[in-house]
Structure 1
Amino acid sequence: MPLAEARQRIVADLSPVTDLETVALAEARHRVLAQDIVASVNVPSATNSSMDGYALCPGNDETRREYVQVGQSLAGHPFGQALEAGQCVRITTGAVVPEGADRVVIQENVVTQGDTVTIAAADDLPGVEANIRPAGEDIAKQDTIFQAGRYVRAPDIALMASIGHAHVKVLRRLRVAFFSTGDELRPIDGPLAVGEIYDSNRYGLAAMIADLGLEGVDLGAVGDDPAALAQAFDKARDCDVLITSGGVSVGDADHVLDVLKTRGTIDFWKVAIKPGKPLAVGTIGNTRFFGLPGNPVSTAVTFIQLVRPALVALAGGQPAPALRFELPTTQALSKRAGREHYLRACIEPGPNGLCVTPVGHQGSGVMRSMSQANAFVVLKAETEHVDPDALVAVEPFAQSVWQ
C-alpha cells in the first residue's frame, strides 16, 4: 500500500479525545486548547514609545526644532498631563506617550541645555507617529488570538500571558501505552548473552511520545509468548492508544497478530516504504492499536510517517503536512523501484548553498543513522538512480507536526 493511502486510511475514522481540563497557563505548554482565546485587553495597553528620547508636541509647526521639556514619562510612571505646542517630555522605551504628543525623537538626535531640547539637524526631524507604538498594535481587545484545537507552544504561553489569561481549558492528554516484543530483549542496565540485544526501541518510542506532549504508559518488554502478550494487551485497555514494536511480521515467533485477533479488529498491511514495510493497525475495545516493525530505524520511520499524524489527530489537534523541499545531493543514490525510500541524511552548507548528504549505513537496524541525521531524503517509489548534484526531496526532522 502506498504511504499516502495508508496515512489517509489511518486518520479517516479517528475520534479525538473530548474530556476537558482547566490548567494554569504555566502548565499549558504541549496541550491542545479546548476553547477559543479572546483578548480582553489591548496589547500594548496604551500608546507608548519604542525608543528612548523625547515625546514632542509640535503643534502646527512641522519644522519646529526647539522644545521646552516639562516633565518625563517613564515605563510604569506616565506623565499624566496633556502637552501644548512647543512642549516635550523625556520618555523611555515602553513609557506612555502623553496626550498632545504625536512623535518621538531619539535621544541621539537632540541637544539639551537646561529645559530646552533642540533637534540637532533638520534631517533629524521625526515625522508624525515616528517611534510610537499605538495601543493594540500587537493585539486588539476582542481579537481571537487562538482557536480551539491549537497546540500550545512556548511563544503561545507568552502571548496568552500578555492578555492576562491565567488559566485555560485544554483537552486531556492522550494516554499512549507501548511495549516492545521479543525473547532476545534485555534490560539496558544488565549483561548480554550471545544473541541478545538491549531493549532500545521502547526508549525511542517513549521519547517520541513525550516529544508530542502526550502521556506515555510504559508496559515494558514482552517475550514471544502468547499468554504474556495477551496480558499486556489487556493492560492497555484503559489507554487511548497502544503501540508495539516487533512481532508483526510472519515469522514463527511473531505472535502479535494472532493474539490481537482474539481481542479486537486488526488490519495488517505492507506499506510501500523502506525501511518499515509491515504495519498492523486496528482497535482493541476503545483503544487504537499500531503494531510497528521491530528493526529500530523501521520503528522510527513508521512512527514518524504514519503513527505520529494519527496521535496528533487523536489528541484533538490538526496534523501539519510534512514540510519538504528540494536540495542537491552530494552523492549518487540508487535503489530498486517499487517502494518509497527514506534515507537518513544531513542538510549542510555546500559550496553553492545548502545541500544534503546521506549518512553512513542505511540498513534498517542501524539506529546510528537516525541519530547522526537531521533529515530524510525521500526517493519516490519509481526512482532507481539519482546522479550527484541532482535535486532530491528533503524532509527535515525539525519541523512542526501540529498546525
Structure 2
Amino acid sequence: MVRVISVEHHRAEATALLGTRTPVRLPVAGCAGLILAEDVTADVSLPPFDNSAMDGYAVRAVDVAGASEDSPVELPVAEDIPAGRVDSPPLLPGTAHRIMTGAPMPPGADTVVMVEKTDGGTETVRVFAAVPPGNHLRRTGEDVQRGTTALTRGTLLGPAQVGLAAAVGLDSLVVYTPPRVLVVSTGTELVTAPNPLKHGQIYESNSVMLVAALRALGCEVETVRSVVDDVDEFRAVIEPKLAAADLLITSGGVSAGAYEVVKDALTGAGVEFRKVAMQPGGPQGLGRWNGVPVLTLPGNPVSSLVSFEVFVRPAVLASMGHSIVDRPRVRAKLTEALRSPAGKVQFRRGFYSHVDGEVTGEVGPRGGPGSHLLAAFAQANCLIVLPEEVTEAPQGAEVNVLLL
C-alpha cells in the first residue's frame, strides 16, 4: 500500500536527502551568487593607511587657519603625491603637498584642502578657505580593522561582498557550489519539438521547465528527454550517467497505473514511492540510486512544477548553504471563492496584486485546479495555499500566498 504523508514531512525528507554540499575553494571572481562556507578574516585594514578623500592639498590645519576668499593663504608646494606613491615624504610646517584621491597622507599633515578651495597651483598654492583637522581624510581601518571578521559564514555573495573579499587581499573563497543535476523526462507519448506529432502524442515540456528552474539556482544540468516506458531501457540510458550527477530528478512514471517506468525501475533499488497529501502533485518518490539522491516528480506539467517549488527548490537551496529557502509569503484577500479537497494542501495558481492603502493585497485564481492547465501557470505570479483543513474559502477570505 502506498504511504500517504504530509507536505511538511516529504519536504523535510527531501531536504535531509540532499544534505549540505561539501565546500570548495573558488577564485573570488567566480563566487558571486554563492554562499560563503567560512568566515573571512581581514589580513589588512581598510583603508590600509590614512589617505586623502579628495584631490587637493595636504596641509597642517594651523597653517591655513586664517584663509578666506578675501585673504588667501599662500604656501609653497613641496611635493606631488599621486595615488600609488609608496614613499612618504614628510610635510614641513608652512608648506603643502599636492595630493590625489586615495594617495597616502604625508607625515606631518593633518588635513586636506580640496582643490576647489584653491587656485590649483603647482609651485605655490593659494588657499581660499580654512579647514579643520581631519578634513577629507580616510582613516586607517575606519571601514575594516585588520584581524576582524570582514564576511561571515552563510553570507550570500553579491558584487559588494566579493569586492570586499578582494579588497582585504583574498583571491579565493570557500563556498558551497550548486549540485550537478540530471533531469529525466519519461513517457512513450512524449515527442521533442519540432518533430511532428502523431495522434496520442504530446510535446515534452517538463524537462524544459525543470532545467530553467534549476539553472535559475545556478545548477549545472544535463537532460535526458522522452525516455520510453521500458524499465530496461530506462536503466540502460540513465544508470551510466549517475556517476557525473549529484542529484537525479525525474518527471513522470510514478503514479498508480500501468507503465509507471520510474516506479517500476527504482522500487527496491533504494527509492521509496509515496503519496503526499497535496493537490496537485500527490505522487512522489525519493531515495538513493547507486548512492545518488533521487527525487521523482509526477508527470503532469503543473504537478511537476508545483512539486519543484514545494520540494526541490528549497532542498537544493538548503544544500547550497542558503538559510532563506522559501519564496516570499504574503497574506491576500481572495477575489473569488475557492474549493479544496479535504485532507490535502491545495496549491492554486494565482495572480497577486497590491492594493494601494491596504495592508493586504488581492489574489485571484488563474485557471482551475487541473494539473494539465499549464497556460494558467504561465499567467500566474503566485501560488495560493489552502491548508488541509480548508475545503471552502469564500470571496474576501485571507489566504497565504507564495510569490513566484
Say yes or no: TM over 0.5. yes
Residue 366 of structure 2: which of 352, 360, 364 is its match?
360
2:269 is aligned with 1:263: yes
1:175-211 Cα deviation digits (max 9, x unpaired): 3212011122111221122332211111122222222
- Counterpart for residue 118 of structure 1: 128
- Counterpart for residue 280 of structure 1: 285
The alignment partner of 2:193 has SS state of coil
The CA deviation at 1:78 is: 7.6
Residue 161 of structure 1: which of 166, 186, 190 is its match?
166
The alignment partner of 1:190 has SS state of coil
> Which residue identity does 2:252 align to in structure 1?
G
2:48 is aligned with 1:45: yes
Could you say if the C-alpha distance between residues 47 and 175 of structure 1 is closer, same or farther in structure 2, counting changes exceeding 3 Å?
Answer: same
CA RMSD of aligned residues (A): 3.6
2:197 is aligned with 1:192: yes
The alignment partner of 1:257 has SS state of helix
1:301-334 Cα deviation digits (max 9, x unpaired): 211221122223445x244242534354472352
- Counterpart for residue 10 of structure 2: 6
Rounded Cα–Cα distance in structure 2 between residues aligned with 1:395 and 1:291 = 23
The alignment partner of 1:164 has SS state of coil
Residue 83 of structure 2: which of 72, 75, 78 is its match?
75
The alignment partner of 1:322 has SS state of coil
- Structure 2 unaligned blocks of 5 or more: none
2:104 is aligned with 1:96: yes
> Which residue identity does 2:232 align to in structure 1?
A
Provide the TM-score with structure 1 as the length reference. Answer: 0.79
Contact 1:326–1:391 (Cα < 8 Å) also in 2: no
The alignment partner of 1:205 has SS state of helix
Rounded Cα–Cα distance in structure 2 between residues aligned with 1:154 and 1:345 = 34
2:239 is aligned with 1:234: yes
Q: Which moved more, 1:297-306 or 1:144-153?
A: 144-153
Sequence identity, in percent? 30
Contact 2:60–2:133 (Cα < 8 Å) also in 1: no
- Counterpart for residue 400 of structure 2: 393
The CA deviation at 1:280 is: 0.9
1:252-301 Cα deviation digits (max 9, x unpaired): 232322321132241413143x3322211112131111111112222122
Rounded Cα–Cα distance in structure 2 between residues aligned with 1:371 and 1:105 = 60
- Counterpart for residue 225 of structure 2: 220
Rounded Cα–Cα distance in structure 2 between residues aligned with 1:67 and 1:138 = 34
The alignment partner of 2:128 has SS state of strand
2:191 is aligned with 1:177: no
Contact 2:61–2:132 (Cα < 8 Å) also in 1: no
The CA deviation at 1:347 is: 5.1
Contact 1:345–1:356 (Cα < 8 Å) also in 2: no
> Which residue identity does 2:247 align to in structure 1?
V
Could you say if the C-alpha distance between residues 90 and 269 of structure 1 is closer, same or farther in structure 2, counting changes exceeding 3 Å?
Answer: farther
The alignment partner of 2:314 has SS state of helix
Could you say if the C-alpha distance between residues 201 and 84 of structure 1 is closer, same or farther in structure 2, counting changes exceeding 3 Å?
Answer: same
Contact 2:58–2:113 (Cα < 8 Å) also in 1: yes
The alignment partner of 2:127 has SS state of strand
- Counterpart for residue 26 of structure 1: 29
The alignment partner of 2:199 has SS state of coil
Rounded Cα–Cα distance in structure 2 between residues aligned with 1:190 and 1:279 = 30
- Counterpart for residue 401 of structure 1: none
The CA deviation at 1:43 is: 2.6
- Structure 1 unaligned blocks of 5 or more: 120-124, 398-403
Rounded Cα–Cα distance in structure 1 between residues aligned with 2:307 and 2:364 = 19
2:254 is aligned with 1:244: no
2:215 is aligned with 1:210: yes
Rounded Cα–Cα distance in structure 1 between residues aligned with 2:131 and 2:355 = 45
Rounded Cα–Cα distance in structure 2 between residues aligned with 1:196 and 1:92 = 71
Could you say if the C-alpha distance between residues 293 and 204 of structure 1 is closer, same or farther in structure 2, counting changes exceeding 3 Å?
Answer: same
Contact 1:271–1:278 (Cα < 8 Å) also in 2: no
Contact 1:327–1:393 (Cα < 8 Å) also in 2: yes
Could you say if the C-alpha distance between residues 326 and 151 of structure 1 is closer, same or farther in structure 2, counting changes exceeding 3 Å?
Answer: closer
Q: Which moved more, 1:181-190 or 1:6-15?
A: 6-15
Computing the radius of gyration over CA atoms, which structure comes out larger, 1 or 2?
2
- Counterpart for residue 136 of structure 1: 141
Contact 1:58–1:64 (Cα < 8 Å) also in 2: no
The CA deviation at 1:48 is: 3.1
Q: Which moved more, 1:196-205 or 1:378-387?
A: 378-387
Provide the TM-score with structure 2 as the length reference. Answer: 0.79
